[in-house]
């Protein structure tokens, strides 16, 4: 980035964006309630279509986190044991990752596996690591982000903007977080466990807390595409 055009505020934003990463190992101590509230207050300033603010955030702590963790992990373990899944996402998952999107997906996956010592082709170890999603990576808190079903794709889009804002708000306060589409694979289970109304779609979840900085799963950072790969100028 051309540093000479950045204001002080832009440099602060740049620092937050570069520091933020998907945390996959957490300390057990909970985040103070007032710090979580501050994070949510910041994120509430997120943009939305017609200022509809369609997001609703269900947050767990203490026994609530453990109840959700146990329910998700038990379901995922059972699915792995019988070799099938009972996924029922409210929103359709991608049909396929192809081309450069597949390359990026594989690259970050191998970065993670390499960090935690999983050898190429070790499906047992990689499957065990995947199950960490449903253990919430040991985090003391989880959140589930939902949108009114009646608002369709545009409510979901606003929730995506909100999640991006929330991630930066968390980073600014020293809170580590990992957004997780994986949690939405068990939407009915989440809805039942957390008493989420049936007219709201589960968009995604996130686990959060304080990062375990010594854990190898937090020892890498994913790459970003160049501007040349992600932008197209129309000048005539």
The pLDDT score that the predictor gives to residue 234 is: 96
The pLDDT score that the predictor gives to residue 81 is: 87
Q: pLDDT-based confidence at 31, cuts 50/70/90?
A: very high
The Cα 224–Cα 25 span in angstroms is 22
User: How many Cα neighbours within 13 Å face the side chain of 196?
Assistant: 30
pTM for this prediction: 0.94
Q: pLDDT exceeding 90 applies to what percent of the chain? A: 93
Q: What average pLDDT does the segment 106-111 reach?
A: 93
CA distances from 194 to 61, 158, 198 (A): 12, 22, 11
The pLDDT score that the predictor gives to residue 9 is: 95
The pLDDT score that the predictor gives to residue 1 is: 56
pLDDT at 94 over 60: yes
Average pLDDT, the chain: 95
Q: pLDDT-based confidence at 82, cuts 50/70/90?
A: confident
pLDDT tens-digit readout, 166-220? 999 999 999 999 999 999 999 999 999 999 999 999 999 999 999 999 999 999 9
The pLDDT score that the predictor gives to residue 105 is: 94
The pLDDT score that the predictor gives to residue 74 is: 96
pLDDT at 145 over 90: yes
Give yes or no for a contact between 26 and 132, defined as CB atoms under 8 angstroms apart.
no
The pLDDT score that the predictor gives to residue 199 is: 97
The pLDDT score that the predictor gives to residue 207 is: 98
- Give the residue among 32, 77, 67, 75 at the shortest CA–CA distance from 174: 32
pLDDT at 147 over 80: yes
Q: pLDDT-based confidence at 2, cuts 50/70/90?
A: low
Q: What average pLDDT does the segment 112-123 reach?
A: 92
The pLDDT score that the predictor gives to residue 40 is: 98
The Cα 144–Cα 183 span in angstroms is 8
Q: What average pLDDT does the segment 65-86 reach?
A: 93
């Amino acid at each position: 980035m051309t540093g000479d055009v950045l204001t002080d505020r832009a440099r602060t934003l740049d620092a937050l964006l570069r520091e933020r990463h998907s945390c996959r190992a957490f300390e057990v101590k909970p985040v103070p309630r007032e710090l979580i509230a501050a994070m949510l207050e910041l994120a509430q300033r997120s943009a939305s279509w017609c200022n509809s603010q369609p997001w609703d955030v269900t947050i767990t702590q203490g026994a609530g986190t453990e109840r959700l963790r146990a329910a998700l992990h038990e379901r995922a373990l059972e699915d792995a044991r019988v070799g099938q899944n009972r996924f029922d996402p409210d929103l359709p998952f991608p049909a396929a990752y192809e081309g450069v999107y597949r390359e990026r997906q594989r690259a970050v996956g191998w970065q993670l596996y390499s960090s935690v010592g999983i050898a190429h082709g070790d499906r047992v170890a990689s499957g065990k690591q995947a199950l960490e999603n449903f253990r919430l990576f040991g985090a003391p808190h989880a959140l589930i982000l939902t949108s009114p079903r009646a608002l369709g794709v545009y409510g979901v889009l606003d929730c995506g903007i909100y999640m991006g804002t929330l991630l930066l708000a968390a980073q600014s306060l020293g809170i580590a977080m990992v957004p997780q589409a994986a949690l939405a694979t068990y939407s009915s289970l989440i809805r039942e466990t957390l008493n989420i109304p049936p007219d709201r779609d589960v968009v995604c979840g996130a686990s959060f807390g304080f990062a375990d900085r010594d854990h190898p799963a937090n020892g890498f950072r994913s790459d970003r595409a160049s501007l040349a790969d992600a932008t197209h100028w129309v000048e005539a």
